[in-house]
Amino acid sequence: MGMATDFGIKIEGVSHAYGGGQGQLGTNTLALKQTDLLIRHHEFHALLGPSGCGKSTLLYLIGGFIPVQTGSISTQKGPVTAPGPDRSIVFQNFALFPWKTVLENVMYGLQKKGLPEVECRDIAQAHIKLVQLGGFEQAYPSQLSGGMQQRAAIARTLAVDPDILLMDEPFGALDAQTRRVMQEELRMIWKKRPKTVVFVTHDVHEAVFLADRISIMSARPGRIEHQIDTGLGPERDESTLTDRRFVELGEQIWRLVREQAVLASRGGL
């Protein structure tokens, strides 16, 4: 594991129930139970599990969007108590401002940081190029396809240079072909600009293709049930999909996720 500081995100004994506030476990639905997870610095980590197992809840807790009730979450910047510039999130529904152009959308976070206008523009343009949207700077979201909108959302998120990138089923709304292209793009971007990535998905093949390590969550209340190193190495492309290790891993992980989904359908508790 290396030195103790060699972690991106440390989650210790985190439980979460809706209906509670900071420091108190809610009385309503228990979403997470005694969850422990250590995510390495600059690791691409996927969270898999049945619907309603608390994957997104865990992501929002890391983001600081909902308060930690019990247990603790920390990053290299210290304990997570609120949203911070070191953590950025990409949602499934391309949260772009419809009244701003691609360039204005990508500049938004930089302007909020108070950077000079010229610098905002330069950094934004570099990130628009990075996600292969060069030439679309002046387009509005409504003029773009779903895949292009998601590229713009990723550019906007990366432009502010967070240490940690949180992704909540970011390709869930895309058609299969666009989704595959975006997966390859994301791997390439991540290789050029390594970050600690936590990627929530319910697509087993997407998780195996993208991640260095995969955590499989249990049926609700969620906790980390299994952890698997994909061992596929940094290079991923079309040929990865027919790689024996990829196929076998897919089957192994599908069985583990299915096991939890069956438990969930029976009430799990």
| pLDDT number for residue 153 | 92
Give the model's pLDDT for residue 21.
60
Of 33, 36, 47, nearest in space to 7 by CA: 36
In order along its 269 residues, the chain shows pLDDT tens digits of 344 457 999 999 999 988 756 666 556 678 888 999 999 999 999 999 887 788 899 999 999 999 998 999 999 999 999 999 899 998 877 679 999 999 999 999 999 989 999 999 999 999 999 888 999 999 999 999 988 998 999 999 999 999 999 999 998 888 888 888 889 889 988 988 899 999 999 899 999 999 999 999 988 788 899 999 998 887 888 888 888 989 999 999 999 999 888 887 876 44
Separation of alpha carbons 6 and 205, rounded Å: 28
Q: Which pTM does this prediction carry?
A: 0.89
pLDDT of residue 20: 58
**Nearest Cα to Cα of residue 188 among 224, 220, 235, 150:** 235
Q: What is the pLDDT of residue 263?
A: 82
**What's residue 182's pLDDT?**
87
Q: Is 152 exposed, middle or buried (0-12, 13-18, 19+ CB in 10 A)?
A: buried
